[in-house]
């Protein structure tokens, strides 16, 4: 099923980005006259320390500096609990939630959950986070060609985070393109995945840059492919071979970083939050965030964001036979 899904999913990666400039404090911004009615809750569908948690806390810290009197708090839930909770906050203009490809596109469809991205109020997508195939530094694998050769002689294990996430899609796409079988080993977090790579418990793992770059710089692990047709823009990862180099053709879905509002958020509140998020992408806070986490800057809002998410949902539904 996941292999079929790979054939029709399109890349969530594109251009755009945030520039420099310092955050400014301003009581205005967004819709004329609308202001949050109290402490704003930023809901995270993941535990503290992960990528979604980092993006939420980074934005919250910057937003409180950018708007006099704005107070925000971060609440961490398990993924399903987070979206179920926010769905129940319909009409609440003071509740936001983090959103990624796995959380709001793939998992709701493949697991028949009681929500979809369209139940919420799309606000902004502001970065993408491509996956890399990572191996221990002393691994026999220098390239994906080495992986393909070895897979013809023995079972190859590939670490992925969550059974219904972007890593699983990528693993299936790699296996299909190279004509091999990969045995996925599912982990709850990138930290667990990295520990398994270092211990030699898996042959390789699909990981996002922030999860392994520090260990790569220390000489403990290596990236042998980026799951993208384009090289990564960062100096540290720009030399890693692309999916195209490895013979993987077609569209590749990319993890995205975004925020949604509660269902039925008012137009004035929606405008306020979109404006604030757009402003954030012009600040040093945002620039530091994308650089430190090796993200690719991209800002998508409004009708374009709705169209992007709807296309990904429609593609996934077709692949799942709905």
Among 12-26, 33-47, 74-88, 222-236, the range scoring the smallest mean pLDDT is 12-26
The domain limits of the chain are 10-129+256-319, 132-226
Measured in degrees and rounded to the nearest 5, phi and psi for residue 198 equal: -65, -35
State mean pLDDT over 187-207: 95
How many Å separate Cα 288 from the centre of its chain?
17
**Is the distance from CB of 268 to CB of 167 less than 8 angstroms?**
no
Tell me: the pLDDT tens digits for 167-181?
988 998 899 999 999
What is the value of pTM for the model shown? 0.82
Give the residue among 127, 129, 199, 198 at the shortest CA–CA distance from 167: 129
The whole-number pLDDT of residue 27 equals 41
**Is the distance from CB of 185 to CB of 160 less than 8 angstroms?**
yes
**Res 260 pLDDT > 80:** yes
pLDDT band of residue 71 (cuts 50, 70, 90) is very high
**Is the distance from CB of 226 to CB of 240 less than 8 angstroms?**
yes
Measured in degrees and rounded to the nearest 5, phi and psi for residue 246 equal: -85, 0
State mean pLDDT over 250-269: 93
214, two tokens: 């520090």
State mean pLDDT over 295-300: 95
State mean pLDDT over 287-312: 94
**Res 201 pLDDT > 60:** yes
131, two tokens: 């996956």
Measured in degrees and rounded to the nearest 5, phi and psi for residue 286 equal: -65, -45
Q: State percent of the chain over pLDDT 70.
A: 89
Q: Which residue has the tokens 């090796």?
A: 294
Tell me: the pLDDT tens digits for 134-143?
999 999 999 9
**Res 47 pLDDT > 70:** yes
**Res 160 pLDDT > 60:** yes
**Res 20 pLDDT > 60:** no
Give residues with Cβ within 8 angstroms of 66, minimum separation 6.
Answer: 23, 24, 25, 26, 29, 276, 279, 280, 283
The whole-number pLDDT of residue 8 equals 45
Q: Any bridge partners for residue 264, and if so which? A: none
The whole-number pLDDT of residue 28 equals 44
**Fold that domain 132-226 belongs to in CATH:** D-Maltodextrin-Binding Protein; domain 2 (3.40.190)
Name the maximum alpha-carbon separation found in the chain: 67
The whole-number pLDDT of residue 112 equals 92
Q: For the chain, how are helix, strand and coil distributed in percent, rounded to 5?
A: 40, 20, 40
Return the higher-pLDDT residue of 202 and 17: 202
**Res 26 pLDDT > 80:** no
Identical fold, 10-129+256-319 and 132-226: yes
Average pLDDT score, the chain: 89
The whole-number pLDDT of residue 10 equals 43
Q: How far apart are CA 58 and CA 37, in angstroms?
A: 22
The whole-number pLDDT of residue 87 equals 98
**Is the distance from CB of 117 to CB of 313 less than 8 angstroms?**
yes
Q: How far apart are CA 174 and CA 15, in angstroms?
A: 25
Give the residue among 200, 23, 3, 15 at the shortest CA–CA distance from 126: 15
State mean pLDDT over 98-106: 93
The whole-number pLDDT of residue 32 equals 55
Q: Which CATH superfamily is domain 10-129+256-319 in?
A: Bordetella uptake gene, domain 1 (3.40.190.150)
**Is the distance from CB of 101 to CB of 312 less than 8 angstroms?**
yes
């Amino acid at each position: 099923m996941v292999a079929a899904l790979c054939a029709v999913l399109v890349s969530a990666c594109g251009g755009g980005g945030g520039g420099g400039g310092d955050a400014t404090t301003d009581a205005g911004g967004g819709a004329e006259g609308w202001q949050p009615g109290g402490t704003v809750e930023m809901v995270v569908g993941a535990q503290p320390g992960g990528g979604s948690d980092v993006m939420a806390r980074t934005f919250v810290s910057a937003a409180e500096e950018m708007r006099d009197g704005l107070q925000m708090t971060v609440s961490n839930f398990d993924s399903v609990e987070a979206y179920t909770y926010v769905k129940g906050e319909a009409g609440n203009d003071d509740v936001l939630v983090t959103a990624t490809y796995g959380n709001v596109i793939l998992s709701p469809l493949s697991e028949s959950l009681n929500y979809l991205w369209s139940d919420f109020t799309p606000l902004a997508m502001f970065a993408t986070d491509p996956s890399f195939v990572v191996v221990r530094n002393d691994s026999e694998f220098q390239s994906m060609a080495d992986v393909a050769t070895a897979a013809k002689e023995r079972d190859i294990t590939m670490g992925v985070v969550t059974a219904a996430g972007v890593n699983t899609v990528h693993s299936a796409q790699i296996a299909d393109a190279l004509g091999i079988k990969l045995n996925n080993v599912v982990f709850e977090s990138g930290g667990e995945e990295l520990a398994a790579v270092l211990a030699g418990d898996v042959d390789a793992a699909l990981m996002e840059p922030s999860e392994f770059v520090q260990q790569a710089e220390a000489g403990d692990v290596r990236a042998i492919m980026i799951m993208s047709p384009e090289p990564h823009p960062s100096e540290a990862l720009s030399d890693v071979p692309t999916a195209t180099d490895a013979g993987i053709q077609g569209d590749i879905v990319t993890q995205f970083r975004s925020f949604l509002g509660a269902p039925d958020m008012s137009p004035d509140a929606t405008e306020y939050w979109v404006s604030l998020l757009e402003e954030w992408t012009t600040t040093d806070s945002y620039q530091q965030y994308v650089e430190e986490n090796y993200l690719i800057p991209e800002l998508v809002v409004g009708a374009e964001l709705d169209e992007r998410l709807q296309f990904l949902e429609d593609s996934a539904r077709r692949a799942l036979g709905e």
